[in-house]
Structure 1
Amino acid sequence: MALVVCILLYMIFLGDRCFGQDFEIPEATVQLLYPVGFTVSIPDNCGEKLQVACKHFKRQLRRKVASSVQTLLSNNLYPVGFTVSIPDRSGIRLFAFHGKVNEEFTSPQDGGRYSRDITRAKNGKWTYTDKTTRFKKGDEINYWLYVDYDNGRNQLGYMSEFRKFVVRECPRQLMNEKGDCTASDPYHYEVPEPSIEILTPRGFKVSIPDQDGVKLFAFHGKINESFDGREAGSFSRDITKARDGRWTFTDRVTLLNPGDIIYYWLYVDYEDPSGRKLGYLKEDQEYTVGGVSSCMKSLTTWNGEVACSAQLLLDEQFNRFNTVNWTNDIRYADDPDFEFVIYDKHENNLNVRDGQLHIRPTLADERYGSEFIYSKTGYDLGSSCTADVANDCKRTSVGGYTLPPIFSGRIVSTNFFKYGRVEVRAKLPKGDWIYPQILLSPKEYEYGKTNYDSGEIRIAFLGGNAHLMNELQGRILLGTSVSTRNYGITKTTGNDWSNDYHLFSVIWNPESISFFVDDREYGQIIPPRNGFSSVVARDKPEAASRLKRGTLLAPFDKDMVIKIGVGVGGHTFPDSIPNKPYTNEEQKPQLKFYKAKDSWMPTWTRESELIVDYVKVYAL
């Protein structure tokens, strides 16, 4: 009877509730359900004869079945089922859901395709659950809710307005309030673009970079004949072991001519961090053989292999956090800049959204309170720490030495290279004592692990202080002394370089290192006649001796990786800068910096973040 009265009153008054002013149906949470997995098996029916052929057939069959399973699992953006819930509250006696898919309600008398009364709350919620409906992007769930509520005097019926939920292309928990996807599946894997090399006089190579979790790489190819479905092809081989950082298929027999087309598809067995092993495909690929020399050899090497001239080696658009290309750098900051930072992967400090990488430093107080830096139990980064030294993974406050007062983020490229052109389109951060880290750092530190003995190239450096933001620097670092820090600096002045996006570039070749902003060269560093070893000889004779083993460009003649992050404080800022709240040589600089937070914290705003639009690497 209450429902009938409620409906009549709703039709008359078009109100949110039937009567009374003491209850209003809250906003419901609509959660799509996603399949978590299933098993597929095939019979083991090979006889004693034809064992080799039968096993090969089974392997191919398993791959096809597994790839079909993987398609369903990895494309779990197509949900099956949904839940609709409201929080429990004292007095609620019944919750009813009425819904339709892709069809709007015209009258509250319409119960809808889904119509169910829920008589008991579970886990603090009144929840309607459907586990059968399949959805695709763009589907609409139209619904209205009804609640029986006892206010202590009467039990009344309340009805909501008509509501709508639109199925987006990613899980609900990854959406912001606008319905846009804010993150990606943490276990998703994509088969990377392969490197294809035509061999002389015959043959070709196809390879992908190694990555934790890859267990098998398979190549299937044909020459001048496209695939009809997922055939094995003229070339069909499983590669079970990576060599020199690559999973490589090699053919040394086939004679290829200019204009020939290699049609191919790739398959990868990948075990994600949860232990789930899935098969991933890269289908419908083709490669056209160029002229007699289809690849003009470059001076650039990429992951240890010679690249083709002007080849685009990396094109990172940050549509998601791509673990094929990047890893999080998780550690305490230390030598040689001693910045006042713990690098972590917390979403407040580092995230990818709207096709861009965002890195923002935050005060540790905001996460753990004002006593964090004085903690005697310390802060442990645990198994996720990427540092080699234990002290860079866990520290405690001892003898007046405090924990770093700032959390920030930094990523490191999984690919390494020697020589090339790097382009980074970014908006640099504002805020006192904040600075961007857009770097080329050594992969192996072959000339020494401390004090920049193995060098560093800063593609773009800009202090975040208001009086520093008109001087953009590109620089190399050869050491930590005043002379070696200041040796390789190029700079250009202008307005505030952090106001807009700019394209920061470096061309690194065996003879020189050149810096660009918005395609304009503003500096070039050429080693002296006796090499960079002569620059460091007076301050560090042992380091100079090691550099003499390399080329004149040493230490910049070894493989490097890209690092992108945000630092705060430390030795990066010289003591000559006005109003600096600490000195680089005092015993407890980060404590003094922290105690002066009232002077610098007001300058940290929503613009105190590094935003990276894209990163590209080209061979010379």
Structure 2
Amino acid sequence: MISWSDVLCLVLVGLINCQNSDQTYPNVTVTLRALHPSGFRAYISANADQTNNIVFNGILYENMEKARNSESDIGLLWGFATRKAHSEWLFEDHFVTLAVGTVIKYGIFIPDQHPNGASKNGRASLTLDGAEPDYKFFRVSYLVDPRTPGPNCLPTLTKVRGRTVCAGEVIFEDNFDTLREDLWQIEQYIPTDHPEHPFLSYQKLDTDRNVYVEDGILNIVPKLQEDLIRKYSSILTGSLDLSDGHRIKNVQNPHSAIIVRKILLEPVFKKFDGQKELASIIKIALAGGNREITANKLQLTLGVAAGGTSVFPDSFVTPHGRTKPWNNSDPKASLKFWQNRDSWYPSWTTPNLIVDYVKVVAL
């Protein structure tokens, strides 16, 4: 076992060790950039399809002489790189400040398998098996604008506020190991000014939740309002409190839940408004179908809707010969939708929207 004590691979309270192996080290090319006013990036091209882990290990020195003699280092650049495309990886450090003349002694470590973690005496350790990296030297000769595209950047129509992206680059990803409220916001409102006017309200329930993560899966569950308030009042005479100070009476709607990503890629909209066009809403599934999905405002919304006064034409007939029970121009369309629930509610055998992961990739 070879300990990286000479390069001090200390992560929080964990010490990382590496072992030699007979595996041939894959071809790796690296482009390093020191950013202005701070930050560092390593663009890595590696034939490493069998691993999800690539480690960048760098040591900082004031000049080349000290770097070659491995003496008096002034800092570290260490961490796991992120896969950006098929064989492209990116390691970033947003906080390090590099000066012209600084030298980085660096190596790229590709484990044979997933890291093995352990804990001893309250100290976490991480062991990686793989070929020892071939260390090289990089001298900072100038600082780069962080908005400059990467070395293998292909042009894309996708635009992201504040930075340049490349075709195939992963812009956002969530695997729903937990419901991250720093990324997602559960909306609560009745979409009376929504361009499609769906017949529902969006609510966040504290008990018998309709939005939750379980076993790495996001679940959005539509429920009938009638079932929720039956113990206390009728849907025709009761009231609905959406916790924002507005009480809406006599709501004849089922309800669901909608999740809006709070970290937006284009103009910020917290809710739908009358000016928002249908083309700016990403629909993962839509009755009637879209051959092309256009999104010129990449706000990502996940939700379950019901009915509506623009999605289904008045001439719509189900495969079982049933006609639509409301007209789009009827001011009581949602009421007629509710009154005909005996015809559509039995079809809600698996109404949940389940999402394994969300990944947004530049075109």
After TM superposition, the score normalised by the length of structure 2 is: 0.55
Which one-letter code corresponds to 2:215 in the other structure? Answer: D
After superposition, where does 1:248-263 map in structure 2 within 5 Å?
A: 249=95, 251=97, 253-254=99-100, 260=106
Deviation track 1:537-587 (CA, whole Å, cap 9, x = no partner) reads: xxxxxxxxxxxxxxxxxxx55x43110100011212221213211112112
Aligned to 2:354: 611
More helix by share: 1
Tell me how far 1:259 sits from its aligned partner: 8.2
Contact 1:361 1:608 in 2 (8 A): yes
Deviation track 1:450-485 (CA, whole Å, cap 9, x = no partner) reads: 25348424443333xxxxxxx6x22xxxxxxxxxxx
Aligned to 2:255: 407
Q: Secondary structure at the match of 2:171?
A: strand
After superposition, where does 1:131-210 map in structure 2 within 5 Å?
A: 198-199=33-34, 204=39
Rg comparison, structure with higher value: 1
Contact 1:202 1:255 in 2 (8 A): no
Q: Distance in 2 between matches of 1:459 and 1:592?
A: 25
Q: Distance in 2 between matches of 1:259 and 1:574?
A: 65
Q: 1:204 to 1:248 in 2, by over 3 A?
A: closer
Aligned to 2:214: 353
Which one-letter code corresponds to 1:450 in the other structure? Answer: G
Q: Secondary structure at the match of 2:301?
A: strand
Q: Give the one of 302, 319, 322 matched to 2:177.
A: 319
Deviation track 1:250-287 (CA, whole Å, cap 9, x = no partner) reads: 63625688984699xxxxxxxxxxxxxxxxxxx99xxx
Q: Distance in 2 between matches of 1:259 and 1:345?
A: 52
Contact 2:57 2:106 in 1 (8 A): no
After superposition, where does 1:24-63 map in structure 2 within 5 Å?
A: none
Aligned to 1:591: 335
Q: Secondary structure at the match of 2:235?
A: helix
Q: Secondary structure at the match of 1:251?
A: coil
Q: 1:333 to 1:202 in 2, by over 3 A?
A: closer
Q: Give the one of 270, 276, 281 matched to 1:452.
A: 276
Q: Distance in 2 between matches of 1:454 and 1:599?
A: 28
Gaps of 5+ in 2: 1-11, 14-31, 42-55, 61-73, 78-92, 110-125, 128-134, 139-148, 318-322
Q: Distance in 1 between matches of 2:33 and 2:236?
A: 60
Q: Give the one of 48, 51, 59 matched to 1:224.
A: 59
Contact 2:59 2:104 in 1 (8 A): no
After superposition, where does 1:89-128 map in structure 2 within 5 Å?
A: none
Q: 1:341 to 1:302 in 2, by over 3 A?
A: same
Q: Distance in 2 between matches of 1:404 and 1:261?
A: 64
Which one-letter code corresponds to 1:224 in the other structure? Answer: I
Q: Give the one of 346, 353, 358 matched to 1:602.
A: 346
Please state if 1:443 is matched with 2:268: yes
Q: Distance in 2 between matches of 1:234 and 1:358?
A: 42
Contact 1:373 1:404 in 2 (8 A): yes
Q: Distance in 2 between matches of 1:593 and 1:198?
A: 59
Contact 2:282 2:301 in 1 (8 A): no
Which one-letter code corresponds to 1:204 in the other structure? Answer: G
Contact 2:173 2:360 in 1 (8 A): yes
More strand by share: 1
Aligned to 2:163: 305
Tell me how far 1:333 sits from its aligned partner: 1.7
Q: Secondary structure at the match of 2:345?
A: helix
Which one-letter code corresponds to 1:612 in the other structure? Answer: V
Q: Distance in 1 between matches of 2:278 and 2:335?
A: 30
Q: Secondary structure at the match of 1:611?
A: strand
Aligned to 2:246: 394
After superposition, where does 1:465-614 map in structure 2 within 5 Å?
A: 473-474=289-290, 490=291, 557=296, 559-571=297-309, 572-578=311-317, 579-605=323-349, 607-614=350-357
Tell me how far 1:368 sits from its aligned partner: 0.5
Tell me how far 1:413 sits from its aligned partner: 1.4
Aligned to 1:417: 265
Q: 1:345 to 1:233 in 2, by over 3 A?
A: farther
Contact 1:224 1:262 in 2 (8 A): no
Q: 1:585 to 1:395 in 2, by over 3 A?
A: farther
Deviation track 1:309-368 (CA, whole Å, cap 9, x = no partner) reads: 432222222221122322212211222222111111225422211221111211111110
Q: 1:573 to 1:414 in 2, by over 3 A?
A: same
Contact 2:282 2:298 in 1 (8 A): no
Deviation track 1:11-32 (CA, whole Å, cap 9, x = no partner) reads: xxxxxxxxxxxxxxxxxxxxxx
Question: What is the CA RMSD across the aligned residues, in angstroms?
Answer: 4.5
Q: 1:202 to 1:410 in 2, by over 3 A?
A: closer
Q: Distance in 2 between matches of 1:320 and 1:460?
A: 21
Which one-letter code corresponds to 2:153 in the other structure? Answer: M
After TM superposition, the score normalised by the length of structure 1 is: 0.34
Gaps of 5+ in 1: 1-66, 69-196, 207-220, 226-231, 236-246, 264-282, 384-392, 419-441, 464-470, 475-489, 491-513, 516-524, 526-555
Please state if 1:461 is matched with 2:285: yes
